[in-house]
């Protein structure tokens, strides 16, 4: 009987199970009522009295070891099961924080989306430009103050090369190589020789739109402006146009919208006028069409342009322009859910 117990002990030590079914089969084989150990227990009464003590101890040892071994194997399966249960194995092992879009990018994309729905396509051009595309092709007189060193970054060795002061330079680049109909939107960074403060920066961002075709009128422009204002600031938004002057448009206007903070009632943000200025616009000056090779007797068009920082301020009340370029993650994090 001792020999039989020894053999079963060896078997128990070597037990292996690769799944729950195999483990259950082992349990039945060793520990069930009809299992090997119970059979030995049943034979115990036939063991001679002088051997009973030793056989009894060995038998108990076998029973404990078999139970322990099966518990250990069972635990392994349970741990494996737990480790897979409800887990997404495609997830990264480490938590990765998603970045946020910059508020200026959010607003730029929103403006582009609105104009894209009207059939405008995006046009881009160089930030380092020549005098022709930034000024001359856009009807700036030789002595226009914008050409002054005070306003524009020139490159000393090459006075003809400037950092563009507006994205209108992209309009002239498109016009000189494209015959109408032209329907473009030009987003981009521009540069002015300004002292940096909370309300001015040496670089900022613009979006301009240009539409040239036969019979384009100021009415078309006004409809697009109204639609843009409502899409951007809400369906209740009202607009008003004030006469203005730009070298490249005639007539020119500046557009105000009803203050989106007080709804037009008057508040500190709109200086209690109920209106805030958001963009400049007008009909493309025939001189600009001529300078860029478009027949001004056949075609007419409108242009409009706005500062992205300005629109972002209106939407999110960012009081200090410098925050846009400081990359302070606490500021950027506030726009996490914006788009």
Q: Are 188 and 163 contacting, i.e. CB atoms less than 8 angstroms apart?
A: no
Residue selected from 51, 261, 298, 338 as contacting Zn ion according to rule CB under 5 A: 261
Compare residues 125 and 274 and give the one whose CB is closer to Zn ion.
274
What is the C-alpha to C-alpha distance for residues 316 and 322, in angstroms, rounded to an integer? Answer: 15
Q: Smallest distance from the beta carbon of 278 to Zn ion, in angstroms?
A: 13
Residue 317 binding Zn ion, by CB under 5 A:
no
Give the Cβ contact number of residue 169 at 10 Å. Answer: 27
State the nearest-atom distance from the C-beta of 94 to Zn ion, in Å. 46
Is 277 a binding residue for Zn ion by CB under 5 A? The answer is no
- Does 23 bind Zn ion (CB under 5 A)? Our answer is no
The alpha carbons of the chain give a radius of gyration, in whole angstroms, of 40
Using DSSP, state whether 64 is helix, strand or coil. Answer: helix
The CA-based dihedral angle spanning residues 155, 158, 160, 165, taken in that order and rounded to the nearest 10 degrees: -10
Q: With respect to Zn ion, which residue has the nearer C-beta, 99 or 234?
A: 234
Q: How far is the CB of 270 from Zn ion (least distance, A)?
A: 3
Query: Could you tell me the smallest distance in angstroms from the CB atom of residue 239 to Zn ion?
Result: 15
At 214, phi and psi to the nearest 5?
Answer: -75, 140
Size of the site for Zn ion (CB under 5 A): 6
- Residue 220 tokens read as 């078309």
Closer to Zn ion at the Cβ: 218 or 269? 269
The pair of structure tokens assigned to 42 is 């049943």
Q: Which of 270, 281, 289, 304 forms a contact with Zn ion (CB under 5 A)?
A: 270
Closest CB 233 distance from Zn ion, rounded Å: 12
> Whose structure tokens read 């092709």?
137
Residue (138 or 318) nearer to Zn ion, CB: 318
Name which position in 106, 146, 262, 323 contacts Zn ion (CB under 5 A). 262
Which of 106, 146, 267, 332 binds Zn ion (CB under 5 A)? It is 267
CA 303 to chain centre: 29
Query: Is 250 annotated as belonging to a binding site?
Result: yes
Tokens (6 digits) for 98: 């998603």
Cα–Cα distance, 245 to 247 (Å, whole number): 7
Encoded tokens for 64: 């404990």
CB 225 to Zn ion: min, Å = 20
Q: Rule CB under 5 A: choose which of 134, 163, 186, 259 binds Zn ion.
A: 259
Residue among 304, 168, 300 nearest 244 (CA) = 304
d(CA 262, CA 272): 9
Q: For Zn ion, which is the closer residue by CB, 251 or 266?
A: 266
* Residues 163-202, interacting with Zn ion (CB under 5 A): none
Which residues participate in the annotated binding site for Mg(2+)?
250
Residues that bind Zn ion (CB under 5 A): 259, 261-262, 267, 269-270
């Amino acid at each position: 009987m001792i020999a039989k117990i020894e053999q079963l002990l060896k078997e128990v030590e070597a037990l292996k199970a690769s799944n729950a079914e195999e483990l259950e089969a082992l349990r039945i084989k060793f520990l069930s009522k009809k299992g090997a150990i119970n059979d030995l227990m049943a034979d115990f009464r036939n063991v001679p009295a002088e051997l009973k003590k030793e056989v009894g101890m060995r038998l108990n040892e076998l029973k404990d070891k078999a139970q322990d071994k099966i518990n250990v194997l069972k635990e392994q399966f349970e741990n494996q099961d737990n480790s897979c249960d409800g887990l997404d194995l495609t997830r990264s092992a480490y938590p990765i924080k998603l970045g946020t879009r910059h508020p200026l990018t959010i607003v730029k994309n929103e403006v582009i989306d609105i104009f894209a729905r009207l059939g405008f396509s995006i046009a881009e051009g160089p930030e380092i430009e020549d005098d022709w595309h930034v000024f001359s092709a856009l009807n700036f007189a030789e002595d226009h103050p914008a050409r002054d060193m005070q306003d524009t970054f020139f490159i000393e060795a090459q006075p003809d090369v400037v950092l563009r002061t507006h994205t209108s330079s992209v309009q002239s680049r498109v016009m000189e190589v494209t015959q109408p109909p032209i329907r473009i939107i030009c987003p981009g960074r521009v540069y002015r020789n300004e002292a940096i403060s909370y309300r001015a920066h040496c670089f900022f961002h613009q979006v301009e739109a240009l539409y040239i075709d036969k019979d384009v009128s100021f009415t078309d422009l006004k409809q697009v402006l109204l639609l843009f204002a409502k899409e951007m600031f809400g369906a209740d938004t009202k607009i008003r146009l004030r006469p203005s002057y730009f070298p490249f448009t005639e007539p020119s206007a500046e557009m105000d919208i009803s203050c989106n903070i007080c709804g037009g009632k008057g508040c500190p943000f709109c200086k209690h006028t109920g209106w805030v200025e958001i963009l400049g616009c007008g009909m493309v000056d025939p001189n600009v069409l001529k300078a860029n090779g478009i027949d001004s007797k056949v075609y007419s068009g409108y242009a409009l342009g706005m500062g992205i920082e300005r629109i972002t301020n209106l939407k999110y009340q960012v009081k200090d322009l410098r925050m846009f370029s400081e990359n302070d993650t606490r500021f950027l994090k506030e726009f996490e859910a914006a788009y």
